[in-house]
């Protein structure tokens, strides 16, 4: 794009991709150098990355980190142009901008049994939360859902932190059915102090619907569209308890029972037309 | 000034020179700069209008007290380099302020020629000289002895950049931490290209880097580092984070698709270059009928940007009248020329949408102006029965910004007002020793020149503070610096 803008971008670059491992058909795990982020980050926080000139700024959860090596782990599902570009990077490639850690750290509630519910790539969003809880001595049960066995990610990592209940829509691994069925069964048998949920909006909405009548405190990690991640644009606004909140600075975690999921789901569709165009543009230029 | 050839009478005969602008119809569809700039000939003529008053009241109107009559005199004499030296002595970003200062309420408001007729076009001449200087490497900063002291600046807006330059010229090692991926603050992400080309801001940043200022983008203080980390790693800190948290109206419909804050709208376009989608990957909705709510510079920037993205109708909805519009007069008249519609004395009640939750219009009510309120402006009062809907597909809310609690909430010891702004004494120092603050985060949303003025003035008091305090490099400091990657001693 603009050549002169490059000087500072270059100075701030140096976020090398150390490894890129494919975890499932469309999910990759990237280990990236970002020493300052690695040193400061806490569970629940995210980064915003920008691949290079002209690229979007996209938010990604810090799935893990190694402060000593100065690296962070990003688990990326290729759903559109920017995420596809990211998973296409090879070891040795660079990401121009990585800013973070952003967002408030998770409110880790260590009390009785804690249930962590994750769907799809939400497993990687949940992992640091479960890790933080386990490190504080909480009794963590994870309910992990995916479409099919091949799309399950982070099951081993989550299993290492406590009991894991795996569900797939088609029954190719674990229980057949949705995470909410497993969660309802579980809560029927064992009282939980708090439930954490991360995943697609419909899943988080369904989890909230299961826990609300049971009066179980539920915390969801929301994923609205973001731009700056510093509270400057308000694009990430969500409605919680009837009040406008900025997910990037007030969240991303909120009390599920107050979240207007319909609005969140709807606003995520703002750029659907553009997203299609971006992908066909890519295919055209590639072909 | 003895060698000014013209008599007062001759000077009085010269009319104010018009700023040449690009054609309104053409420019309203492109991002090229609207004001073309004075030629040397026009500049000379305009400078000759200056009466070189003994008591130059214009200088009182300038927040940084530029020696206006002297630089006018140098233009008249044709010594543009001398004019540039005078200008830069008081104002480190004249190419910026020449374009964005509200001169009509500052220097030009106090120009004696304005009493009977038009004031001298001080702003346009300032811009002329600054642009001339950009083309003629005039940077004649003498190398200074390094002081051995380190200063951190938080935020690379006009306040932070000015302070960084001043501190660096005094020999201090300056690091600027900026949250975004580019420096410039509002100058980069807010003010559009057609009013302030980004190249001008980047030129300035390059000049600072040449002085040795280090600019570290993608560092959010309060998250990546805390203020306490910087206090340990540096001898002084200057906080100039602006007041960038956008306010909404708290009316129904602000969660609909097609509603933006002005900051988001302008950031997508200016910082993320979404006008070039899909070559640039960030999208922005290209509204066909765009309503912008508000009447300040930000609103006018947004509505003129909407036209440039192809809107057929771009409308300002403002609850007071034309005389109350807080935007610069020049921007309002440019907007008029470009075909922006003004719905004045109209107050929004709700944003309406369709079944798919896309914006369809703004429900409004007409207002009449009552008694002045606390701000001194006449209070808009709804007129009963005047409700109606202005149809549109995109709404941009430009009703102001406030202090962002990101930094302050992570530093509870830092004293703030009840509205979250930082409290600084007359030296610009906060309640924490060695931590200074200026610009919008202290003043509330103000202006570029005031932020720069703060940066300059407080750089001076920081310098005094550094001279008055001893260098302390204890083990705590060494540890923080090495552990946090803040450099070594
Ligand atoms: C705090 C936070 C943490 C996140 N963590 C992760 C993570 O760890 N791993 C991961 O793979 N993704 C994560 N996301 C989502 C990720 O940011 C988006 O998938 C990404 O921005 C999509 O960009 P794209 O250009 O590839 O897709 P686009 O072409 O922009 O969009 C493709 C599809 O994704 C949807 N989408 C667009 N933006 C978002 C978004 N911000 N969130 C969810 N869906 C979106 C669109 O509605 C569309 O259906 C996170 C989002 C947030 C806000
Ligand atoms: C669209 C628009 C148009 C305007 N037009 C005019 C005009 O015509 N004339 C005029 O005089 N004024 C105008 N203004 C106002 C003017 O831009 C501001 O008063 C001025 O920029 C304030 O300067 P500042 O240095 O205090 O802060 P800013 O310019 O706001 O810069 C602050 C910087 O700090 C960064 N930052 C914030 N928090 C952190 C953190 N925690 N860590 C690191 N970095 C951080 C931000 O990203 C930003 O880059 C306009 C404002 C806008 C938004
Ligand atoms: S992403 Fe801009 S305010 Fe949250």
Q: Looking at the partner chain, which of B181, B254, B357 has a beta carbon nearest the beta carbon of A50?
A: B181
Taking a C-beta distance cutoff of 8 angstroms, is the pair B343, B365 a contact?
no
Q: Residue A118 has what pLDDT? A: 97
Number of Cβ pairs < 8 A linking chain A and chain B:
153
Taking a C-beta distance cutoff of 8 angstroms, is the pair B442, B424 a contact?
yes
Closest atom of ligand 3 to CA, residue B246: 3
Nearest by Cα to A180 from A148, A204, A154, A214? A204
Instruction: Please answer yes or no on whether A39 and B483 come within 8 Å at the CB atom.
Output: yes
Q: What is the mean pLDDT of residues B416-420?
A: 95
In chain B, which residue's Cα lies nearest the Cα of A100? B224
What are the helix and strand counts (H, E) for chain A? 10, 17
Q: Residue B481 has what pLDDT? A: 77
* Nearest ligand, measured from the Cα of A127: 1
> For the sheet containing A217-221, what is the strand order?
A175-176, A163-168, A139-146, A113-119, A194-198, A217-221, A253-255
Q: What is the mean pLDDT of residues A18-46?
A: 96
Q: Residue A13 has what pLDDT? A: 54
Q: Residue A110 has what pLDDT? A: 86
Best of B283, B287, B402 to mutate (most A CBs within 10 Å, chain A): B283
Nearest by Cα to A100 from A149, A152, A37, A163? A37
Interface of A with B in 225-264 (CB under 8 A): 227-228, 230-235, 237, 239, 244, 249, 260, 263
Q: Which CATH fold topology does A113-268 show?
A: Rossmann fold (3.40.50)
B352: alpha, beta or left? (left if phi > 0; alpha if psi -120 to 50):
beta
Taking a C-beta distance cutoff of 8 angstroms, is the pair A151, A85 a contact?
no
Q: Measured in whole angstroms, how far is the alpha carbon of residue A87 from the centre of its chain?
A: 15
In this prediction, residue A11 has a pLDDT band, given cuts at 50, 70 and 90, of very low
Closest atom of ligand 2 to CA, residue B266: 1
Q: A239 phi and psi, to 5 degrees? A: -105, 120
B371-413 pLDDT, tens per residue? 888 878 888 999 999 999 999 999 999 999 999 999 999 999 9
A237-258 pLDDT, tens per residue? 999 999 999 999 999 999 999 9
Q: How far is A138 from chain B (nearest CA, A)?
A: 26
Domain ranges of chain A: 15-102, 113-268
Instruction: Please give the Cα distance from B301 to B342 (Å, whole number).
Output: 14
Cβ-proximal residues to A38 (8 Å cutoff; 6+ apart), any chain: A65, A66, A67, A69, A70, A71, A72
Q: What is the mean pLDDT of residues A119-129?
A: 96
* Nearest ligand, measured from the Cα of A76: 1
Cβ-proximal residues to A34 (8 Å cutoff; 6+ apart), any chain: A15, A47, A70, A71, A72, A98, A100
Instruction: Please give the Cα distance from B108 to B86 (Å, whole number).
Output: 18
- The CA distances from residue B213 to B153, B170, B442, B471, in Å, are 10, 12, 24, 20
A143-162 pLDDT, tens per residue? 999 999 999 999 999 999 99
Nearest by Cα to A11 from B223, B152, B205, B165? B205
In the predicted structure, residue A2 carries a pLDDT above the cut 70 = no
In this prediction, residue B3 has a pLDDT band, given cuts at 50, 70 and 90, of low
- Is residue A118 in contact with ligand 1, taking CB distance under 6 Å? no
Which value does ipTM take for this structure?
Answer: 0.92
Q: What is the mean pLDDT of residues B122-142?
A: 82
When mean pLDDT is compared across A82-91, B360-369, B370-379, B459-468, the lowest value belongs to B370-379
Residues of B in contact with A101 (CB under 8 A): 223-224
- Is residue A204 in contact with ligand 1, taking CB distance under 6 Å? no
- Structural domains of chain B in order of their starting residue, each with its CATH number: 8-134 (1.10.1060.10), 150-244+403-475 (3.50.50.60), 254-401 (3.50.50.60)
Computed over every residue of chain A, the mean pLDDT equals: 91
Computed over every residue of chain B, the mean pLDDT equals: 92
In the predicted structure, residue A4 carries a pLDDT above the cut 50 = no
Nearest by Cα to A115 from A77, A83, A147, A158? A158
In the predicted structure, residue B489 carries a pLDDT above the cut 70 = no
In the predicted structure, residue A283 carries a pLDDT above the cut 80 = no
In the predicted structure, residue A14 carries a pLDDT above the cut 80 = no
In the predicted structure, residue A282 carries a pLDDT above the cut 90 = no
C-alpha dihedral, B173 to B177 to B178 to B184, nearest 10°: -20
Secondary structure class of B470 (helix, strand, coil):
coil
Q: What is the pTM of this model?
A: 0.93
In the predicted structure, residue A15 carries a pLDDT above the cut 50 = yes
In the predicted structure, residue B463 carries a pLDDT above the cut 50 = yes
Going by their DSSP bridges, the two strands B150-154 and B173-177 should be labelled as parallel
Q: Measured in whole angstroms, how far is the alpha carbon of residue A93 from the centre of its chain?
A: 23
Taking a C-beta distance cutoff of 8 angstroms, is the pair B57, B111 a contact?
yes
Q: Looking at the partner chain, which of A102, A232, A271 has a beta carbon nearest the beta carbon of B404?
A: A232
B188-211 pLDDT, tens per residue? 999 999 999 999 999 889 988 988
Nearest by Cα to A102 from A33, A46, A56? A46
Q: What is the mean pLDDT of residues B59-85?
A: 92
Peptide bond into A252 cis (omega under 30): yes
In the predicted structure, residue A5 carries a pLDDT above the cut 70 = no
Q: How far is A150 from chain B (nearest CA, A)?
A: 30
Q: Which of B184, B239, B242 to mutate to test the pocket of ligand 2 (most atoms within 8 A of CB)?
A: B242
- Which has the higher per-residue pLDDT, A86 or A3? A86
Q: How far is B222 from chain A (nearest CA, A)?
A: 9
Q: Looking at the partner chain, which of A1, A12, A266 has a beta carbon nearest the beta carbon of B218?
A: A12
B255-290 pLDDT, tens per residue? 999 999 999 999 999 999 998 888 899 999 999 999
Q: Is B211 exposed, middle or buried (0-12, 13-18, 19+ CB in 10 A)?
A: middle
Closest atom of ligand 1 to CA, residue A78: 26
Domain covering A15-102 in this structure, CATH number: 2.40.30.10
Taking a C-beta distance cutoff of 8 angstroms, is the pair B356, B336 a contact?
no
Quote the percentage of chain B above a pLDDT of 90. Answer: 79
B87-114 pLDDT, tens per residue? 988 888 899 999 999 998 999 999 999 9
In this prediction, residue A203 has a pLDDT band, given cuts at 50, 70 and 90, of very high
In chain B, which residue's Cα lies nearest the Cα of A264? B255
Instruction: Please give the Cα distance from A122 to A197 (Å, whole number).
Output: 8
Q: Which of B157, B176, B269 to mutate to test the pocket of ligand 2 (most atoms within 8 A of CB)?
A: B157
Taking a C-beta distance cutoff of 8 angstroms, is the pair A36, B177 a contact?
no
């Amino acid at each position: 794009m603009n050549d002169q803008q490059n000087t500072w971008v270059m100075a701030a670059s140096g976020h090398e991709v150390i490894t890129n491992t494919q975890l499932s058909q469309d999910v990759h795990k990237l280990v990236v150098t970002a020493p300052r982020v690695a040193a400061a980050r806490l569970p629940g926080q995210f980064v915003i990355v920008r691949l290079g000139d002209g690229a979007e700024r996209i938010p990604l959860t810090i799935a893990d980190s190694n402060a000593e090596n100065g690296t962070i782990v990003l688990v990326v599902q290729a759903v559109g142009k920017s995420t596809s570009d990211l998973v296409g990077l090879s070891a040795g490639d660079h990401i121009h901008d990585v800013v973070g850690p952003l967002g408030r750290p998770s409110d880790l509630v260590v009390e009785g049994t804690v249930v962590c519910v994750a769907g799809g790539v939400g497993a990687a969003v949940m992992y640091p939360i479960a890790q933080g809880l386990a490190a504080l001595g909480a009794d963590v049960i994870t309910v992990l859902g995916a479409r099919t066995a091949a799309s399950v990610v982070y099951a081993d990592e989550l299993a290492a932190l406590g009991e894991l209940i795996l569900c797939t829509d088609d029954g190719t691994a674990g229980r057949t059915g949705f995470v909410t069925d497993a969660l309802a069964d579980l809560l029927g048998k064992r009282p939980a102090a708090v439930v954490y949920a991360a995943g697609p909006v419909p899943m988080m909405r369904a989890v909230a619907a299961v826990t609300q009548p049971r009066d179980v405190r539920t915390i969801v990690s929301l994923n609205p569209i973001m731009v700056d991640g510093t509270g400057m644009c308000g694009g990430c606004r969500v409605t919680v308890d009837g009040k406008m909140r900025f997910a990037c600075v007030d969240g991303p975690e909120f009390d599920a029972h107050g979240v207007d999921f319909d609005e969140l789901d709807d606003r995520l569709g703002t750029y659907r037309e553009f997203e299609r165009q971006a992908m066909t543009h890519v295919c055209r230029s590639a072909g | 000034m003895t060698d000014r050839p013209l008599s007062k009478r001759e000077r009085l005969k010269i009319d104010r020179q018009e700023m040449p602008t690009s054609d309104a119809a053409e420019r309203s569809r492109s991002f090229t700069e609207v004001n073309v700039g004075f030629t040397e000939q026009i500049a000379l003529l305009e400078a000759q209008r200056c009466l070189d008053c003994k008591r130059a009241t214009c200088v009182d109107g300038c927040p940084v007290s530029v020696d206006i009559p002297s630089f006018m005199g140098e233009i008249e004499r044709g010594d543009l380099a001398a004019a540039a030296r005078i200008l830069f002595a008081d104002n480190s970003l004249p190419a910026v302020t020449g374009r964005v200062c509200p001169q009509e309420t500052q220097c030009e408001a106090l120009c004696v020629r304005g009493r009977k007729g038009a004031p001298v076009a001080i702003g346009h001449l300032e811009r002329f000289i600054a642009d001339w200087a950009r083309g003629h490497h005039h940077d004649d900063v003498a190398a200074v002895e390094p002081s051995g002291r380190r200063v951190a600046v938080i935020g690379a807006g006009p306040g932070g950049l000015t302070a960084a330059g001043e501190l660096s010229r005094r020999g201090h090692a300056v690091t600027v931490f900026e949250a975004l991926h580019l420096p410039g603050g509002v100058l980069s992400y807010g003010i559009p290209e057609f009013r302030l080309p980004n190249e001008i801001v980047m030129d300035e940043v390059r000049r600072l880097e040449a002085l040795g200022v280090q600019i570290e983008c993608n560092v959010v203080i309060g998250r990546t580092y805390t203020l306490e980390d910087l206090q340990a790693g540096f001898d002084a800190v200057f906080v100039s984070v602006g007041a960038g948290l956008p306010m909404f109206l708290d009316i129904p419909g602000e969660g609909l698709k097609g509603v933006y804050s002005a900051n988001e709208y302008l950031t997508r376009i200016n910082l993320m270059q979404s006008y070039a989608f899909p070559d640039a990957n960030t999208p922005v909705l290209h509204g066909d009928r765009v309503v912008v709510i508000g009447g300040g510079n930000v609103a006018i920037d947004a509505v003129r940007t909407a036209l440039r993205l192809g809107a057929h109708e771009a409308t300002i909805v403002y609850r007071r009248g034309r005389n109350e519009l807080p935007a610069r007069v020049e921007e309002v008249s440019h907007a008029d020329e470009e075909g922006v519609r003004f719905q004045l004395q109209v107050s929004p009640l709700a944003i309406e949408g369709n079944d798919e939750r896309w914006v369809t219009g703004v429900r409004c009510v007409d207002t009449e102006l009552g008694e002045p309120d606390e701000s001194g402006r006449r209070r808009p009062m709804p007129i009963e029965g005047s409700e109606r809907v202005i149809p549109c597909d995109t709404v941009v809310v430009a009703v102001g910004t406030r202090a962002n609690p990101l930094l302050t909430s992570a530093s509870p010891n830092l004293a703030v007002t009840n509205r979250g702004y930082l409290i600084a004494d007359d030296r610009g120092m906060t309640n924490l020793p060695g931590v200074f603050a200026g610009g919008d985060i202290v003043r509330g949303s103000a202006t570029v020149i005031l932020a720069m003025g703060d940066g300059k003035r407080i750089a001076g008091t920081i310098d005094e503070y550094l001279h008055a305090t001893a260098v302390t490099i204890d083990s705590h400091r060494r540890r923080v610096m090495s552990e946090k990657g803040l450099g070594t001693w």
